[in-house]
Amino acid sequence: MSKNRMFLIIQALLCVLIAAVLSVLTVWTFIEGSAWQAAGHPSDWIYTREKAGQALLVVLPFICASAVMTMIGAVKGIKDEEAEKPVQDAELARNLICARVAEPSEEMAKERALQKKLQIAGWVGFAVCMIPILLYVTNGAHFSQTDPEGLDRSLIALVRFAAPWAIAGLACLTASTVLQGKSMQRESEAAQSRVKTEKEAGIVKDPEAVKADGRIYNTAPETAKRRVLMRRILMAAAILFIVMGIFNGSMKDVLVKAIRICTECVGLG
């Protein structure tokens, strides 16, 4: 591994560390502030300049280190040499090579079927992981306390319950995507071997047929019509809900909330 590559990896890890530490400090400040309000100081503000300054002091060394590394990288001209290279798309590469095959082989058919199964399995796993979260959110007993302290505890409990399930669901999708990519690579290799075999046998697919079979070249008319219809339905629904919001007074409520956020939370005005 080159020195430039190691430099970029360290800089990326610093950025991730800064984001993680800031997130933890934000949650910790909120929990401490909520406990302080519950202890008999309901009017005290959770996020103050003093608390923000104390939190920033913890992460300040990492920010300074990242800034120094950024300046060093700019002076020395260190950059990722692969950043400007096009991203390799396994599905795109597979479609290109498979479009040149006159008759798909048995191995190609197996890999294509495996990809569909992996895609379905990934989304099913994600949906199964979302069911406990949905049941938790729809259970009113978990949010029965309406006082500030009770709401804080309810939100913290929700995060603690939902986080593992959400991570598990994303892990299912990630594993499914990774396995699909490997299967597409194997299918591409099988397609390349098939094309070579067909060329040796004198079987050459017509270029126009290759163009028609490649999904990247054109879209089926039925698919294009469905996309246009879906866009029109979504546009009509958006306009309908906007009009309904204007007539039932929701527009005014949103405007008032936006004004309060700017003047009270952000501190403008």
Q: Please write the tens of the pLDDT for every residue from 140-149.
A: 788 777 666 6
Model confidence at 213: pLDDT above 60: no
CA angle 203, 206, 209 (to 5 degrees): 125
Q: Which residue has the higher pLDDT, 254 or 186?
A: 186
Give the integer Cα–Cα distance in Å for 46 and 50.
11
Give the pLDDT band of residue 207 (cuts 50, 70, 90): low
Q: Which residue has the higher pLDDT, 85 or 31?
A: 31
Model confidence at 1: pLDDT above 80: no
Give the pLDDT band of residue 264 (cuts 50, 70, 90): low
What phi and psi, each to the nearest 5 degrees, are found at residue 40?
120, 15
Give the integer Cα–Cα distance in Å for 17 and 14.
5
pLDDT mean across residues, the chain: 82
Model confidence at 175: pLDDT above 90: yes
Q: Which residue has the higher pLDDT, 52 or 68?
A: 68
The amino acid at 98: C
Could you tell me if 99 and 213 are in contact, meaning their C-beta atoms sit under 8 angstroms apart? yes
CA angle 79, 56, 157 (to 5 degrees): 105
Q: Tokens in use for 153?
A: 């505890």
Question: What pLDDT score does 146 carry?
Answer: 64
Question: What pLDDT score does 36 carry?
Answer: 79
Could you state, in order of their start, the residue ranges of all structural domains in the chain?
A: 3-76, 90-218, 219-269
Model confidence at 217: pLDDT above 50: no
> CA nearest 21: which of 60, 65, 71?
60
Q: Which residue has the higher pLDDT, 157 or 173?
A: 173
Question: What pLDDT score does 244 carry?
Answer: 82
Mean pLDDT of 41-49: 77
The amino acid at 63: I
> CA nearest 180: which of 257, 103, 115?
115
Give the pLDDT band of residue 219 (cuts 50, 70, 90): low
Q: Which residue has the higher pLDDT, 209 or 51?
A: 51
Give the integer Cα–Cα distance in Å for 29 and 41.
15
Percent of the chain with pLDDT over 70: 84
Question: What pLDDT score does 15 carry?
Answer: 92
Question: What pLDDT score does 51 carry?
Answer: 82
Could you tell me if 90 and 184 are in contact, meaning their C-beta atoms sit under 8 angstroms apart? yes
Q: Which residue has the higher pLDDT, 89 or 193?
A: 193
